[in-house]
């Protein structure tokens, strides 16, 4: 402040409450009036194991977090999601689409860190692999403002899912692009896992890297342990120069 390094922007300080607790992501779909809350998930924002290293867009996620009990989920819906949707309606700006609430479960209750008006990445991958019903009628009913009337079914498998992001060496800093990815054919041979492509492209007959977060290796299991096992078994078959991933996705569910 003394050196005025940030110019006028450095003249004011905002002191905020320091929030501690588990971070969770609650995605919901709304037509501006009715809310369909999707299953909860937990992202892993830091680049390396044990939440070390720089922040990223997300290095992996799992669903559902076992510590998010129905009572707490209902509190989140009642105190956060419903008032938010209704406030936008009252302001004559009804919102239709995905409302993503990034929350932190503090000792004094759930608090909002951020809202996004889109699906979360990588939270959506573990949700999609658990979704048994068709997503399209749900999205259509939301865009056409008939979520309440159309009674669209949303069915989930009770199984647990884990998505581990494979990233380019150097991410979230600078990284090389255009590297051929090996072993993707193995990915088609397993019924318990799906590979979601994020930063890839087809070049001739090869699939190459084009981004920082390249693949989301997503697997189901009877529990978090088995889902992790399925995801990491598949990850070991896929490679490119410099690829890296976190080894501890979902461990927060196991360690609690």
Give whichever of 131 and 141 is closer to ligand GLY, judged by the CB atom. Answer: 131
Smallest CA-to-CA distance from 129 within 185, 194, 217 is with: 194
Count helices and strands in the chain by DSSP H and E runs: 8, 13
Task: State which of residues 22, 23, 49, 121 lies at the interface with ligand GLY (CB under 6 A).
Answer: 121
Region of 91 please: left (phi>0), alpha (psi -120 to 50) or beta: alpha
Give whichever of 25 and 192 is closer to ligand GLY, judged by the CB atom. Answer: 25
Which residues, 49 to 78, sit near ligand GLY by CB under 6 A?
A: 57-58
Q: Exposed, middle or buried by CB within 10 Å (0-12, 13-18, 19+), for 173?
A: exposed
Tell me the window of 71-79, 114-122, 195-203, 222-230 that interacts with ligand GLY (CB under 6 A): 114-122
> Mapping DSSP to helix (H, G, I), strand (E, B) and coil, where does residue 151 land?
coil
Give whichever of 116 and 143 is closer to ligand GLY, judged by the CB atom. Answer: 116
Tell me the window of 120-128, 129-137, 148-156, 199-207 that interacts with ligand GLY (CB under 6 A): 120-128
CB of 111 to ligand GLY, least distance (A): 17
CB of 114 to ligand GLY, least distance (A): 8
Give whichever of 129 and 184 is closer to ligand GLY, judged by the CB atom. Answer: 129
Task: State which of residues 75, 116, 157, 176 lies at the interface with ligand GLY (CB under 6 A).
Answer: 116
Give whichever of 39 and 123 is closer to ligand GLY, judged by the CB atom. Answer: 123
Smallest CA-to-CA distance from 228 within 44, 40, 25 is with: 44
Contact by Cβ (8 Å): 190, 243 = no
> Mapping DSSP to helix (H, G, I), strand (E, B) and coil, where does residue 54 land?
strand
CB of 40 to ligand GLY, least distance (A): 13
Q: CA-CA distance, 112 to 20, in Å (whole number)?
A: 12
Alpha carbon 204 to its chain's center: 31
Instruction: For 80-144, give the DSSP string.
Output: IIHHHHHHHHHTT----EEEEEEEEEETTEEEEEEEESS--TTTHHHHHHHB-S-HHHHHHHHHT
Give whichever of 65 and 120 is closer to ligand GLY, judged by the CB atom. Answer: 120
Give whichever of 184 and 217 is closer to ligand GLY, judged by the CB atom. Answer: 217
Task: State which of residues 60, 65, 110, 120 lies at the interface with ligand GLY (CB under 6 A).
Answer: 120
CB of 116 to ligand GLY, least distance (A): 5
User: Is residue 123 involved in binding ligand GLY (CB under 6 A)?
Assistant: yes
Q: CA-CA distance, 88 to 167, in Å (whole number)?
A: 37
> Contact positions toward ligand GLY, by CB under 6 A?
43, 57-58, 116, 120-121, 123
């Amino acid at each position: 402040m003394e050196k005025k390094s940030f110019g006028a922007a450095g003249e004011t300080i905002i002191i905020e409450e320091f929030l501690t607790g588990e971070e969770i992501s609650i995605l919901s779909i709304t037509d501006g009036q009715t809310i369909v809350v999707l299953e909860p998930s937990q992202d892993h924002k830091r680049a390396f194991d044990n939440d070390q290293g720089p922040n990223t867009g997300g290095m992996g996620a799992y669903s559902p977090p076992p510590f998010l009990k129905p009572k707490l989920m209902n509190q989140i819906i009642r105190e956060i999601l419903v008032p938010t949707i209704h406030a936008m309606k009252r302001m004559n700006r009804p919102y239709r689409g995905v409302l993503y609430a990034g929350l932190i479960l503090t000792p004094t209750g759930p608090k909002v860190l951020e809202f996004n008006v889109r699906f979360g990445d990588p939270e959506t991958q573990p949700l999609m692999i658990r979704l048994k019903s068709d997503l399209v009628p749900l999205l259509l009913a939301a865009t056409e403002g008939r979520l309440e009337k159309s009674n669209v079914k949303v069915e989930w498998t009770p199984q647990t899912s884990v998505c581990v992001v494979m990233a380019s060496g150097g991410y979230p800093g600078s990284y090389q692009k255009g590297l051929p990815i090996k072993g993707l054919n193995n990915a088609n041979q397993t019924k318990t896992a799906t590979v979601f492509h994020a930063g890839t492209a087809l070049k001739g007959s090869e699939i190459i890297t084009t981004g920082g977060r390249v693949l989301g290796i997503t697997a189901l299991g009877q529990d978090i342990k088995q889902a992790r096992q399925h995801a990491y078994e598949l990850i070991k078959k896929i490679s490119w120069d410099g690829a890296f991933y976190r080894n501890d996705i979902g461990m927060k569910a196991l360690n609690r």
